[in-house]
């Protein structure tokens, strides 16, 4: 009887051992499958990189780790794993550092850099927590969500902050604001939780006669404003974030100088809008152009492109030119028919004259003019400097450079200079009006465009802590579209659990 009991106990022990072994094998297989797929956690990336760094120098020490954005897919950090990582190592007491890049579980970048790096190193034994641990805590305690518009998914960094090895997880909060939550790598204690909050933004109306201003649509990203004879139209995003102005897009019209607004029936993000000479509204979305948009109708679609519209221009008689995917599309009959023009190089700006002539400013800052099937270069005086922007208006070419404004006839060859108090970073053409905006929209200049040249340059607005994006004049009122800036602010404090391991045990 005793021997039977012993045999039964032995059998039970054997079954337990086999179960444990089977469980271990499953875990190992799961780990192997994950690594084979190429997604690694922060510590797995360190293990892989550290081995290679020790081959480079046995005294190699880790100073920084960061995940890298990619378009491969996978979990995108949902479980703390990413496809791509960068790791930096130094040899204490020696100059230079080693940069390692990991992609799909393999080291794809091995670069020895000469520049010096921080001396503080991260001891491997101090990294008690992994990216899978901190992302779970961040989701549970702060509702952290994966980034969508920039730094897609969850991202992770490890570096020294205030003498402590710190793991930071990056995502967005419930309002889609860029968010960073930091943890001590040793114990998982939350050391910081901040998000980038917008401030500023809105529509400013400035009465040019009395010099009094008013701001409406506060906090919005007003991406554009255009004035017709009877109506004022504006567009943008009601809930912008640092990396997106397409969260709650709007297109609105006013007939009483911006006192009241009503929505127009375009349920897409608007890139541009303008009125033709008949006061008909044209609207450009990401890849379409609509004509005769009204309260009752979203109008007629006159152009649909496969790729996004990058740049658009329209002349006083509503000739239209569109840049998309390395091609320029143009119409001289209000969109009834379009011509397609290949361009020789990447473009910054496309312009079209009242006669339908095409001009472009390339990314290399050359001005080209289309003559039949040939793009001919237009020479610029060497003393003018490099063009920052270009506009065609009233048969004139206007360029802004660091030396001022330069102007010439479309068919001429002599450039004239107009001095301005500050360099003009961007030119804005609205109907017969031409404006200039300085860097980051700090000031607005209005150019009085005479018959022959710019006769008068006047600073009409000096911005304070706002970013000007667009301008137009409606019934002697200057309307200024502004967008928010963003600053880091602490998130609401949430008490830290005494035992952080409970979140993933």
Domain ranges of the chain: 42-188, 198-486
- Mean pLDDT score of the chain: 86
Overall average pLDDT of the 210-219 stretch = 85
pLDDT digits (tens, 9 = 90+) for 245-304: 888 999 999 999 899 999 998 878 999 999 999 999 999 999 999 999 998 888 899 999
Q: What confidence category does residue 501 fall into, taking pLDDT thresholds of 50, 70 and 90?
A: very low
How many whole angstroms separate alpha carbon 119 and alpha carbon 378? 53
pLDDT for the residue numbered 278: 93
Q: What are phi and psi of 115, to 5 degrees?
A: -65, 150
pLDDT for the residue numbered 34: 41
Range with lowest mean pLDDT among 121-125, 310-314, 331-335, 456-460? 456-460
pLDDT for the residue numbered 9: 39
Range with lowest mean pLDDT among 115-119, 184-188, 381-385? 115-119
495 compared with 408, residue with greater pLDDT: 408
pLDDT for the residue numbered 361: 96
Q: What confidence category does residue 492 fall into, taking pLDDT thresholds of 50, 70 and 90?
A: confident
Overall average pLDDT of the 410-438 stretch = 91
Could you tell me what percent of the chain has a pLDDT over 70? Answer: 88
In the beta sheet, which residues pair with residue 133?
none
Range with lowest mean pLDDT among 7-21, 111-125, 159-173, 324-338? 7-21
In the beta sheet, which residues pair with residue 347?
362
Q: Output the CA torsion 157→32→60→113 (10° steps).
A: -60
The answer to whether 146 and 152 are in contact (CB under 8 A) is yes
pLDDT for the residue numbered 478: 94
The CA-atom distances, in angstroms, between 203 and each of 127, 214, 375, 435 are: 49, 8, 40, 17
Q: Which of 140-144, 329-333, 412-416, 445-449 has the highest mean pLDDT?
A: 329-333
365 CB contacts (<8 Å, ≥6 apart)? 348, 386, 387, 388
pLDDT for the residue numbered 495: 45
Structure tokens at 204: 């400013």
429 compared with 23, residue with greater pLDDT: 429
The CA-atom distances, in angstroms, between 382 and each of 66, 401, 403 are: 45, 11, 11
149 compared with 227, residue with greater pLDDT: 227
- Residue 493, pLDDT above cutoff 60: no
Q: What confidence category does residue 3 fall into, taking pLDDT thresholds of 50, 70 and 90?
A: very low
Overall average pLDDT of the 206-222 stretch = 85
pLDDT for the residue numbered 179: 94
Q: Which of 113-122, 131-140, 445-454 has the highest mean pLDDT?
A: 131-140
The CA-atom distances, in angstroms, between 434 and each of 315, 320, 448 are: 13, 18, 8
- Residue 64, pLDDT above cutoff 60: yes
Structure tokens at 272: 């541009």
pLDDT for the residue numbered 1: 42
pLDDT digits (tens, 9 = 90+) for 83-92: 999 999 998 8
pLDDT for the residue numbered 303: 97
33 CB contacts (<8 Å, ≥6 apart)? none
Range with lowest mean pLDDT among 268-277, 363-372, 398-407, 461-470? 461-470
Overall average pLDDT of the 485-494 stretch = 82
408 compared with 95, residue with greater pLDDT: 408
13 compared with 469, residue with greater pLDDT: 469
pLDDT for the residue numbered 62: 93
pLDDT digits (tens, 9 = 90+) for 11-58: 334 333 333 334 333 333 333 334 446 899 999 999 999 999 999 999
pLDDT for the residue numbered 117: 61
How many whole angstroms separate alpha carbon 69 and alpha carbon 288? 30
Q: Which of 341, 286, 323 is nearest to 308 (CA)?
A: 286
pLDDT for the residue numbered 48: 93
pLDDT for the residue numbered 368: 96
- Residue 109, pLDDT above cutoff 60: yes
pLDDT digits (tens, 9 = 90+) for 200-211: 999 999 987 677
pLDDT for the residue numbered 71: 75
pLDDT for the residue numbered 452: 60
CATH superfamily of 198-486: YVTN repeat-like/Quinoprotein amine dehydrogenase (2.130.10.10)
Q: How far from chain centre, in Å, is Cα 105?
A: 29
């Amino acid at each position: 009887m005793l021997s039977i009991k012993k045999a039964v106990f032995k059998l039970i022990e054997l079954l337990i051992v086999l179960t444990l072994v089977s469980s271990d094998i499953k875990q190992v297989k799961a780990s192997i499958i994950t690594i084979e797929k190429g997604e690694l956690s922060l510590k797995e990336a360190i293990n892989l990189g550290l081995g290679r760094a020790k081959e480079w120098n046995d005294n190699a020490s880790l100073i920084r780790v960061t995940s890298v954005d990619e378009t491969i897919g996978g979990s995108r950090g949902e479980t703390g794993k990413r496809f791509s990582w960068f790791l930096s190592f130094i040899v204490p007491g020696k100059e230079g550092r080693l940069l390692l890049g990991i992609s799909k579980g393999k080291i794809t970048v091995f670069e020895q850099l000469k520049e010096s790096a921080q001396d503080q190193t991260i001891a491997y034994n101090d990294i008690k927590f992994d990216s899978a641990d901190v992302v779970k805590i961040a989701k549970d305690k702060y509702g952290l969500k994966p980034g969508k518009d920039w730094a897609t998914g969850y991202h992770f960094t490890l570096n020294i902050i205030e003498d402590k090895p710190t793991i930071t997880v990056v995502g967005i909060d419930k309002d889609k604001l860029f968010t960073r939550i930091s943890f001590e790598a040793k114990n998982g204690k939350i050391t910081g939780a901040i998000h980038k909050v917008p401030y500023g933004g809105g529509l400013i109306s400035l009465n040019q006669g009395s010099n009094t201003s008013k701001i409406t649509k506060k906090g919005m990203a007003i991406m554009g404003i255009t004035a017709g004879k009877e109506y004022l139209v504006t567009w943008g995003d009601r809930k912008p974030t640092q990396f997106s102005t397409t969260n709650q897009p709007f297109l609105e019209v006013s007939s009483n100088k911006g006192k009241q607004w009503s929505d127009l029936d375009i349920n897409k993000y608007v890139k541009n809008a303008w009125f033709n000479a008949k006061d008909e509204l044209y609207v450009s979305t990401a890849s379409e152009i609509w004509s005769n948009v009204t309260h009752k109708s979203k109008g007629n679609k006159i152009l649909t492109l496969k790729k996004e519209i990058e740049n658009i221009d329209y002349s006083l008689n509503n000739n239209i030119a569109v840049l998309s995917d390395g091609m320029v599309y143009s119409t001289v009959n209000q969109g009834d028919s379009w011509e397609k023009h290949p361009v020789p190089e990447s473009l910054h700006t496309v312009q079209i004259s009242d006669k339908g002539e095409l001009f472009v400013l390339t990314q290399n800052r050359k001005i080209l003019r289309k003559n039949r099937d040939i793009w001919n270069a237009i020479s610029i005086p060497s003393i003018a400097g490099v063009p920052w922007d270009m506009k065609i208006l009233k048969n004139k070419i206007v360029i802004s450079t660091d030396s001022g404004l330069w102007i010439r006839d479309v068919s001429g060859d002599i450039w004239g200079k107009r001095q301005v108090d500050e360099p003009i970073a961007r030119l804005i053409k609205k109907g017969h009006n031409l404006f200039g905006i300085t860097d980051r929209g700090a000031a607005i200049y209005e150019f009085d465009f005479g018959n022959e040249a710019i006769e008068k340059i006047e600073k009409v607005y000096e911005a304070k802590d706002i970013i000007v994006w667009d301008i137009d004049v409606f019934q002697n009122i200057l309307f200024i579209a502004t967008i928010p800036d963003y600053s880091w602010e602490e998130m609401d404090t949430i008490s830290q659990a005494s035992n952080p391991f409970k979140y993933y045990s």
